[in-house]
Structure 1
Amino acid sequence: MEHTSNKITEQSSLHDHLEKRSTLELLKGINQEDKKIADAVALAIPQIEQLVEALVARYDKGGRLFYIGAGTSGRLGILDASEIPPTFGMPHDRVIGIIAGGDGAIRKAVENAEDDTKQAWKDLKAFNINSNDVLVGIAASGTTPYVLGGIADAKAHGILTAGITNNPGSPLAHHTHIPIAINVGPEFVTGSTRMKSGTSQKLALNMISTAFMIRVGRVKGNKMVDMQLSNNKLVDRGTRYLVEALNLEYEQAEAALKKYGSVREAIQNLK
């Protein structure tokens, strides 16, 4: 049995007797802890920068970004990957999130899935992962066997690896090419890494994928010019982008958006 006393993510909360606290006291305590998260993420920006630069360098070769994780960490990777096509108009196979236990584990925990050291590589091989790609393992503890096994196998096949963890001294931090270690301190509820650790991972993933997409040209100015126009809200947003960019009346912009199918195409054809 692994010792957890030296894991920051398992250290006892700075708050105690939670069951005796009022709702307001609980909410203020959680918020007090949450205020620490962005500053902790800021300390990892040099490593996040290194990862984004590596992704950009591989992009024109068809390089993809893979996330692997278990539980909350796996779900966050899938969430980030799933938002890239609608936000940036990218194909679904350029950023891929994989969770231990398969897609069924997104909604319901799959028993022992995270303890299999060989399954991650099997999951990755199904996508024909190769040396142009980048693999990011996500694990608050930094000790998840599923993630560590996938990282080890990827490294053995010449694939660049990064790890997002909330334990700076963990195996994931030691065994990835680019360790992104975010020390948010003990959780409000001891060991509940869906809280501060999970939030810090979400912030880091936002930074990674958004900066990556901007660097490869999927944003113009500050606008999502390649977003999928999949509902009325997004059509309206795209129309307003064109009103601003081309000095059109709303109805003209809406017609142009429908004609050309994207903000980018409309701007290129009408400017």
Structure 2
Amino acid sequence: MTADLLVPYHRHMADDRHRELAKALLTWSLQLCSCNRGSAWHAREAFYAATFERYCAPPDAAERENLLCAKYITFFFSLDDGLHNELEALADQLRSGRPVRAGELGTLHDALLADLRAHGLDTKQVEARIAELCAAAVTERARDARTMTQEQFHDLRMVTVAAKPYIDCRRAVRNLPVPNEENLVEQALEAIYIANDLASLDKETASGGAGEYETSNIVRFHAACSGRDLNAVITTVTDRYNHIAATLRNTTPGPLATILTSTVDGNLRAHVGLSTTRYPGAARLLRCLQPVVPPSRR
């Protein structure tokens, strides 16, 4: 039954490992399900999460690492695509330190942390980053682009892109210390949100809602604040992305550089891979972004 739900997505999956990961995530999600959105909704979310993990994982990632990191992505997509009242409740409970009672989103949160702990992993950093993400996501679209500075937008988007907890999950699985190269992490996060915002631009523009996405999309934010047209802003943020990619390309090799490179390049590949499903039209803008590692060197 679980495998059947994923059949519509098989043609979008890279290989058997991709399919098996999606199946494992769907099984996990359905075991924890308390919503009325239906199994097909969970199958779609499992496909999305498996796609990002399949492309973002370093080449040497083991199956255990893939599944644990992909469970975080599943939690995030439930946060991003799920009920706002559950997000508000979870953010409030995490902020106050009260036990989590936030519906299915809270159940996924606790199950993810329990799975990490079951493998003997330190979850303190992951917990703190998830709490930060939830708090920021609650307020993101309630902000006013007309009163936000560029620095405030950047700081908010660095959190709401949700990549820092993912990097910390991978760091925990690999027993890596909290990185000293915080500047590299910040550049990677910026590249990740630029790619995401370019990928979702066509979809958000087509859906209308004046001002709705101006505090969550770098192109729309800068266009609204500067009065420049979208194409001019797209060129500016594309150039910024390619500058970051060049910086990461010239970074001294090491465990953290491996994680950041695979995450930035995998994020780009995943968005392209989902350009016919979650991010319609994404390939048009993403083809101008340069990978950190050229395809010839993979």
TM-score higher than 0.5 = no
Larger proportion of helix: 2
Structure with bigger RCO (C-alpha 8 Å, 6+ apart): 1
Q: Which has the larger radius of gyration?
A: 1
> Normalization by structure 1: what TM-score?
0.25
> Normalization by structure 2: what TM-score?
0.23
Larger proportion of strand: 1
